């Protein structure tokens, strides 16, 4: 299986004011990132507000993304949760599983399992499904950290566990995995702030939120880093670093949807318990965009 390199985009789910899905906005977003040289797409991740979507809505969203994906880039599908048996059933109920490059599955949240519990969770998934799995580690959201030793055990013991989206925010944790991982296992940055250190340390790619707002810049930055053109890569990063800060100031995806609305891609609406971006956030983003584009 060909490894994933470069820039992946964690797509939002655009909504209309009445909270129905805005499929026109979603098509426009997919076309926008495809036109600006991203390398793969991620559907139904955290940034897509997946926790607030019904089963039928998820299916319609995936079909819309597949239809709009005119470049036929690899598509990763988010299927995760804290009920192991339910995750297995969900993955096995997917029609045409082979059209997805991999399933992105978050470490169980709220239950706060031990490292052995996390290991057994992913072992149960890969033993019961045909899918390739990318483990998603995001301790801020799950309440537990998938430690490097656990990641390496999974990587060495199951060929279908093909990578980790590492969003602990800890560069050293990524390096500990990169140092000892099998050759065909990918370390993917799940944090826009540390994409460059992860790539320069031997990681393969990023699943990015900010890449929706600046797909051309992030794609170029990642490409430069992979060619070891460090100074040029960091010059792009420093242009957008304040905006990365801003898109998380009022939560994700509130911030990125505010930015996407400003640049004319889709509406800023989110579903409760998230709230729409404040006028003050929008003003800060507008001022910063002028600086970035000047």
Taking only the tens place, the pLDDT of each residue in 124-136 is 999 999 899 999 9
Measured CA to CA in angstroms, residue 39 lies from 116, 132, 204, 218 at distances of 34, 18, 12, 11
Selected from 3.90.79.10, 3.30.365.10, 1.10.274.50, 3.20.20.70, the CATH number assigned to the domain covering 6-238 reads 3.20.20.70
26: left (phi over 0), alpha (psi -120 to 50) or beta: alpha
**Omega within 30 of 0 (cis) for the link into 253:** yes
Q: What is the pLDDT of residue 2?
A: 80
d(CA 76, CA 10): 9
Contact of 168 with 136, CB cutoff 8 Å: no
Per-run averaged pLDDT (10 residues), the chain, 294 residues? 92 98 98 97 97 97 97 97 96 92 97 97 95 97 97 98 97 98 97 98 98 98 98 98 98 98 98 98 97 90
* Rounded CA separation 169/191 (Å): 6
Closest CA to 155 of 125, 186, 115: 186
What pLDDT, on the 0 to 100 scale, is given for residue 24?
98
User: Could you tell me the two tokens for 235?
Assistant: 């010059």
State residue 95's pLDDT score: 85
pLDDT at 294: 82
Question: What phi, psi does 77 have (nearest 5°)?
Answer: -115, 130
Give the catalytic positions in this structure: 136, 165
Q: What are the φ/ψ torsions at residue 182 (nearest 5 degrees)?
A: -65, 155
Angstrom distance (rounded) from CA 26 to CA 19: 14
pLDDT of 291 reads 94
């Amino acid at each position: 299986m060909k490894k994933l390199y470069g820039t992946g985009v964690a797509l939002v789910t655009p909504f209309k004011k009445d909270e129905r899905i805005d499929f026109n906005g979603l098509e426009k977003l997919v076309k926008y990132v495809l036109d600006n040289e991203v390398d793969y797409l991620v559907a139904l991740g955290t940034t897509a507000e997946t926790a607030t979507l019904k089963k039928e809505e998820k299916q319609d969203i995936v079909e819309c993304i597949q239809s709009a994906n005119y470049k036929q880039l690899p598509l990763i599908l988010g299927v995760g949760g804290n009920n192991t048996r339910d995750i297995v059933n969900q993955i096995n109920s997917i029609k045409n599983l082979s059209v997805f490059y991999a399933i992105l599955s978050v470490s169980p949240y709220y239950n706060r399992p031990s490292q052995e519990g996390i290991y057994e969770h992913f072992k149960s998934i890969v033993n019961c499904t045909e899918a390739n799995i990318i483990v998603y580690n995001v301790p801020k959201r799950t309440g537990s950290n998938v430690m490097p030793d656990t990641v390496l055990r999974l990587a060495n013991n199951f060929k279908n566990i093909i990578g980790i989206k590492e969003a602990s925010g800890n560069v050293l944790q990524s390096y500990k995995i990169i140092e000892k991982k099998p050759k065909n296992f990918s370390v993917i940055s799940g944090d826009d702030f540390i994409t460059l250190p992860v790539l320069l340390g031997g990681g393969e790619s990023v699943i990015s939120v900010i890449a929706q707002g600046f797909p051309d810049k992030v794609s170029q930055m990642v490409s430069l880093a992979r060619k070891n053109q460090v100074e040029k890569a960091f010059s792009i990063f420093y242009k957008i670093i304040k905006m990365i800060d801003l898109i998380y100031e009022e939560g994700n995806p509130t911030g990125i949807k505010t930015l996407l609305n400003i640049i004319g891609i889709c509406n800023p609406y989110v579903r409760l318990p998230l709230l729409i971006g404040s006028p003050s956030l929008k003003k800060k983003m507008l001022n910063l965009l002028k600086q970035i584009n000047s």
